[in-house]
Structures are given as C-alpha cells and as structure tokens.
Amino acid sequence: EADIYQTPRYLVIGTGKKITLECSQTMGHDKMYWYQQDPGMELHLIHYSYGVNSTEKGDLSSESTVSRIRTEHFPLTLESARPSHTSQYLCASSPDLGTGGRDTQYFGPGTRLTVL
Amino acid sequence: AQKITQTQPGMFVQEKEAVTLDCTYDTSDPSYGLFWYKQPSSGEMIFLIYQGSYDQQNATEGRYSLNFQKARKSANLVISASQLGDSAMYFCAMREGRMGSARQLTFGSGTQLTVLP
C-alpha cells in the first residue's frame, strides 16, 4: 500500500497567480516524479528527482519548477499560472532497489488544476 | 514511433466475463519493465501488475494476469471475472534502461473499459 499524498486535490485559480502543488511520501523512496495528464489522455513526465538536491526535467517541456530539499517532499511551483496550465498533475515515487529491482512507481491522488 | 501502443480506445465487457486489453511496445533495450495501471474516474493511478523483460513466467496478481509475448513485443492485460468496479481507464507503461538511469515510465494512450451489468 502506497503512502503518497497530494494537496490540494482541486484548485481553481486566476491567470498570473503563483501556485505550489504539494507532494509528500512516507515510504522513504529516493525517486520522485511529476506527470501532467490532460483528460482522457496519456501521462507525460515533466520533472523527476533521484534524491535530495537532485532534479531533472522530463520529456514534456513545462514552465513549472520543482525542488527536493527533503526526501519525502517534492513540491511543484508555477510562478505565473496560465489557462494552458489547466490539467491534472500526478506525483509518483519509487524505491531504488538496486540491480534487478522492480521499481514500481506509486502515485498520489492527483491535483486537478484549472486556470481561468 | 510510439513506444507504447494501446489500440483499443474503448472496450465493453459483460460482468463476470474475462476481457483482454492490448498493449504493444517498442524498445531496443534488453532490460525493461512493463506495468499496467488502472485510473478510475476519481483520477488516481492504481498499480496493477508488473512484468520484467527477463521474467520467464507471465505475471499474475489475483484477477489480473499479463500475457507477455516477448518476440511479438506485446504485454496484454487479462482481467478475469470482470466486476462493475473494474470500469476505468487502463494504462500500459514501460520503463527502459538499466539501474542508474532515471527509469522513467512511458505511458500508452489508455483503454477505457466499461463493465456492463
């Protein structure tokens, strides 16, 4: 059973606002990920982290930024929200099990963001 | 080229019957993992089953089994004895790369399964 949390679950906000989407996990996983998903579509990786102070951009270009100051916490920030940022944002984490390990990604419940 | 292809945008199945959701993948990496996730209308992604490229046997988890045909690069999900609660979007995903890489997941476009009473 995965213990990964995201807040808020739903957010409606006006254009130009700064927002931070929170993601926390209590499993001690080193690796964490942010995905963006439009309704009914596939997930696209926008950020990932190997561990504390390690962050990388994913395949899908995003104007958001992330930080990883603590193992359990991986927040995503949009400095100036726009309607094009309207989407669902899913956070995930996985263990680093070493060679041959099955590093299943466990997902949080997601944040549905609407920018007006 | 698509790395993960799910050719069935929507599927219907009668309650208590079995259903197969198709997934084909494309990779030149000898080491990879294949995953299936379920996404109900509430939005969360629920891990269902995993198959490693070197696994000799098809994976099974309760009512879920994975029909892994390596030569054909297919990893179909079989759900036996469908239940109304199985109605959801199902995503196939692949993780390429050896240890030390980011080991990102690449997702297919999903199949919307509807279980009929």
Q: Which of A20-24, A39-43, A62-66 is the most confident on average?
A: A20-24
How many interface pairs between A and B have CB atoms less than 8 angstroms apart?
Answer: 63
B101, pLDDT greater than 60: no
Q: What is the mean pLDDT of chain A?
A: 91
* Cβ separation A105–B35 shorter than 8 A: yes
Q: Is the Cβ pair B35, A45 closer than 8 Å?
A: no
Region B10-33 average pLDDT: 95
DSSP single-letter state for residue A71:
T
Find out whether A37 and A90 touch, Cβ atoms under 8 Å: yes
What pLDDT sits at residue A53? 94
**B41, B104, B114, best to mutate vs chain A, most A CBs in 10 Å:** B104
How many other CB atoms are there within 10 angstroms of residue B84's CB atom? 10
